Structure 1
Amino acid sequence: MHYAEKVLIPLHPPLLTAAPYGWLWSLAKKILQQYLLGVTGRSCEEAHDKASPLHLCCQWGLTSVVQTLIEHDAAINIKNEELKTPLHVAIENQNPSIISLLLCHPNIDLTLRDKRGLTPFATALTCRNIKAAQAILVKLPTAAEQADDHDAYRQTALHVAAAAGHEAAVSALLQNGSNFNATDSNGDNALHIAAREGHLSVARVLLTESSLDAETVNIKGQNPLHVLSRYSRENSSAMCELFLECMPNYPLNQPDLHGNTALLLAYMKGNGNLCRILVKAGACLGAMNKDGVTIFNYQVATKQLLYRKRFCYDVNSADKVLSP
C-alpha cells in the first residue's frame, strides 16, 4: 500500500467506499494529497483558476471529502480567481448538504464578495437558491441588510432577485426592508429589470407589496413601460395589463430621451397585442420621436402591422379603437 493511502485511509474511512470506483478513489486521493501538501488549503501545484481542494469538492459535490477537509482545518474563506469562496461555489452548484457543512463552520465569513460584488446571500438569490438564502439569514440575520449594498454595477440584491425571476426572494427582501427604489448604474430599478426580463410574477410582487416608484426613468429616459415595450417579451401584454390595473393613470405617452413612447417602441418591435392594449388604454397614435418617426411612417417589416392588425382610428372621435 502506498504511503499516501496509509495516511488517507485512517484520515477519512468513508473514502474506502469509493475504492471500487477507481476514478473516484483516485480523485479523492489526489484532492486530499494536494491538501496535505499545502499550507493554506491550496496545493503546491495550484490550479490555474486558484481553486483550492475545498473549492473543487464543493463544485463536484463531494460532501464527505468536504467534511474531511473542514475537519482538518481547510481554509474556509479562501478565494479563487473569481474571488469566490467555497460557499459561493457550493451555492452555485445547488448542494444543500455542503452548504450546511460550510455554514456550520464558526469562522465562515458571509460578507465576502466575488468579482461581481456578490455576497453568498446575493449569489443564492441570483441562482434562485432560496433555501440557501434562508439558511444564510438564519446564520446571519443582518445579511438582509446587505441587500441594499451595491455591486460593481450598483445593483442591489433586489435587482439580482428581480433579474433571476424569483418572486419569493423579492417578497422576502421587501419584507426585510430592502430599498425598493434603488437604481443601478443604468438608472434601472427592480421593476425596470422585471419588465426587461419578462418576469410577470416579480412585477406583481413589486407593484402590490411595495410603494415602488413605477414612473422612475433610467439614463435613457425610459420608465418600466418603455422597457417593457422595447424588449417585448411574450408576456408583455399581460404585464402591461398589470401596470394598468395597478396604476390606471400611468403616463402612457411619456417620451424617452429619443422621443419614443411606449406605443412607438412596441410598434417598432412588431408587438401587435401590446400595441392594441396601449391604444385602448389611451396611448396617442400620432406620437412622433425626435427622428420624425411615427407608427405611420416607420419603414420596416412592422409597417404591415398597421394593416395586418387593422388599426382603426376615427379622426372625428376621441375614441381610439384597435380591432382584432
Structure 2
Amino acid sequence: MEENTLKLLVKLTQEGQLSSLEERISSGGSAAVQTIRSKHFGRSGDTLLHYAARQGHLDIVQYLIKRVGMDVETYNNDYKRPLHEAASMSHLACVSYLLQEGAKVDSLKKADWTPLMMACTRRNLNVIQELLHHGADPALRNKDGWNSFHIACREGDPLVVQHLLLVTLDVWRTESKTRRTPLHTAAMHGCEEIVRILLERCGYTPDCADSCGVTPFMDAVRNGHLSVARLLLEKHQASPQATDMLGTQPVHQVAVTGQEEALWFLVRDLNVDVNQKATDMQLTALHYAAKEGHTSTIKTLLELGADLYVRDKKGRTALHMACIGQHADVARILLQLGLKDSEDASGTTARQLAKKPDIVRVFQCGVPDTS
C-alpha cells in the first residue's frame, strides 16, 4: 500500500470513520488486509488497533479484530497492547471487549506497567473494577517498585483507593525500590483525603522513612501541603524535627524548596528552631535558601529570627553559599543587610567563589548605600 494511503487509514481510524476505513481497506483486497494486520506506524510502532483503542472507537476495534484479523495482543515499540491504551484513556467498552476477546489482563508494557496501573492514572472506578473482575493483580510492581495502589494514591481518588483496599486488604503493605510507601506518595502530592484514609485503615508506622530518610511529613511540608502536614501531626504523631540521611530537618527542606508559609508554620506554630543546624555539614535553613537563590525566603527567615552571621562546618556564611550557587541577587541582598565578605575555614572568600559575570559585578561595584 502507498504511504499516503496508510497515513489516510491512520487518520480515519483516529477520527472514528469506520465506513470509510472499511471501504479503503476492502478496495485493496487481501494484500491490503495482510498489510494492515502487521503494519506498525511511526516511531511509536502503533498499529491501527492501538489508535482505535486509544480513541475509544469500539466499532473500529471490533472491525480490526473480527474482520481484519488483527491480534488482540499486538504490541508497539513500548510493548503497549491495545488494552493498555484503552485502560489508560478510561474507555470502558473497549476494555471490556478486548478482555472478552482474550487480551491478557496483566500484560506488561515497557517499565513493567500493567493495564491496571494505567487505569489507576485516571479516576474511572468502572474501568478499574472491570480489570479486577477479570483477575488483574493490584499487587504487581513496575520497575520502580510501584504497584497500582501507589499510583491510585498519587492520583487522589478516594473511591478508587477504598475499592483497592476492599479487594486486596494488604495492598497498602508495599514499598517502592527506594522504600517509599503509598503514604509518602499521597502526602507528597497533597492528597489530603487519601492520607486520611491511609491513616485510618492502614498500619503505617509514624515517621516511616524512605531510603533517603524522608518521612511523609517531610514530603508534605516541603511541597507546601500544610493541611496534610497538620493531619500527619494530629493523627499520626509525625515529628516536625525528624532528620533524613543527610541530617536535614523539615525546616531545612522547606528552605530548599522556598516554601515560606511552611517556614512560618514550623517556626511560629511548632516552635522549631530556625537556626537549627543539619547534622551533616552544620548548614542552617539560611544557608540552604542562599544556595538555592531564594531571595524572598531569606527575608522570611531573617524575619523569623535567622542568624545572618552563622557559619557551617567549613566556616561558610550564607554569602559563601550564594556565591557557590552563583546567585547575584542573593549576594547583593546579603551584603546590603550587612553581611561582610570573609574567609571560610580554608581561607576562601565568597568573592573568590563568584564565577558568573553578574555576581562578580556585585563585588566589583560595591554595596549601594541604602540608608
* SS of corresponding position for 2:110: coil
Does structure 1 residue 42 correspond to structure 2 residue 73?
yes
Does structure 1 residue 55 correspond to structure 2 residue 84?
yes
- String of CA shifts for 1:162-217, please: whole Å, max 9, x gaps: 22221211222122222231212222112222233333332222223221122222
| Aligned CA distance change for structure 1 residues 191 and 32 (closer, same or farther; 3 Å) | farther
Aligned to 1:167: 192
* SS of corresponding position for 1:202: helix
Does structure 1 residue 260 correspond to structure 2 residue 283?
yes
Matched-pair contact (CA < 8 Å) for 1:31–1:53: no
Matched-pair contact (CA < 8 Å) for 2:274–2:301: no
Aligned to 1:180: 206
Alignment-mate amino acid for residue 80 of structure 1: K
Q: What's the CA shift for 1:257? A: 1.9
Query: CA–CA distance in 2 between the matches of 1:262 and 1:32?
Result: 64
Query: CA–CA distance in 2 between the matches of 1:33 and 1:196?
Result: 55
Aligned to 1:227: 253
Query: CA–CA distance in 2 between the matches of 1:32 and 1:136?
Result: 34
Aligned to 2:369: none
Aligned to 1:12: none
The TM-score normalised by the length of structure 2 is 0.66
Query: CA–CA distance in 1 between the matches of 2:305 and 2:65?
Result: 66
Query: CA–CA distance in 1 between the matches of 2:101 and 2:95?
Result: 10
Aligned to 1:102: 131
Query: CA–CA distance in 2 between the matches of 1:183 and 1:163?
Result: 13
The TM-score normalised by the length of structure 1 is 0.75
| Aligned CA distance change for structure 1 residues 279 and 62 (closer, same or farther; 3 Å) | closer
Q: What's the CA shift for 1:88? A: 0.8
| Aligned CA distance change for structure 1 residues 18 and 138 (closer, same or farther; 3 Å) | farther
Query: CA–CA distance in 1 between the matches of 2:272 and 2:80?
Result: 54
Aligned to 2:110: 81
- String of CA shifts for 1:108-149, please: whole Å, max 9, x gaps: 3221111221111111112333332122122223323x2xx2
- String of CA shifts for 1:10-47, please: whole Å, max 9, x gaps: xxxxxxx985685744344325678x765xx623xx32
Does structure 1 residue 131 correspond to structure 2 residue 159?
yes
Alignment of structure 1 residues 245-284 onto 2, 5 Å: 245-250=268-273, 252-271=275-294, 273-284=296-307
* SS of corresponding position for 1:284: coil
Matched-pair contact (CA < 8 Å) for 2:251–2:285: yes
Does structure 1 residue 244 correspond to structure 2 residue 228?
no
| Aligned CA distance change for structure 1 residues 151 and 55 (closer, same or farther; 3 Å) | same
Does structure 1 residue 294 correspond to structure 2 residue 323?
no
Matched-pair contact (CA < 8 Å) for 1:207–1:246: no
* SS of corresponding position for 2:163: helix
Matched-pair contact (CA < 8 Å) for 2:266–2:272: no
Among 140, 149, 157, the alignment partner of 1:121 is 149
| Aligned CA distance change for structure 1 residues 241 and 262 (closer, same or farther; 3 Å) | same
| Aligned CA distance change for structure 1 residues 32 and 76 (closer, same or farther; 3 Å) | farther
Task: Detail structure 1 runs of 4+ shifted over 6 Å in the superposition.
Answer: none
Matched-pair contact (CA < 8 Å) for 1:158–1:180: no
Aligned to 1:112: 140
Q: What's the CA shift for 1:156? A: 1.0
| Aligned CA distance change for structure 1 residues 31 and 164 (closer, same or farther; 3 Å) | farther
Query: CA–CA distance in 2 between the matches of 1:75 and 1:208?
Result: 44
> What 5-or-longer segments of structure 2 have no aligned partner?
1-15, 22-51, 340-371
Alignment-mate amino acid for residue 242 of structure 1: F
* SS of corresponding position for 1:82: helix
- String of CA shifts for 1:88-114, please: whole Å, max 9, x gaps: 111224433312322333x23221111
The number of equivalent residue pairs is 283
Does structure 1 residue 214 correspond to structure 2 residue 240?
yes
Alignment-mate amino acid for residue 262 of structure 2: M
- String of CA shifts for 1:203-248, please: whole Å, max 9, x gaps: 222223221122222222211111111121xxx2211222235522
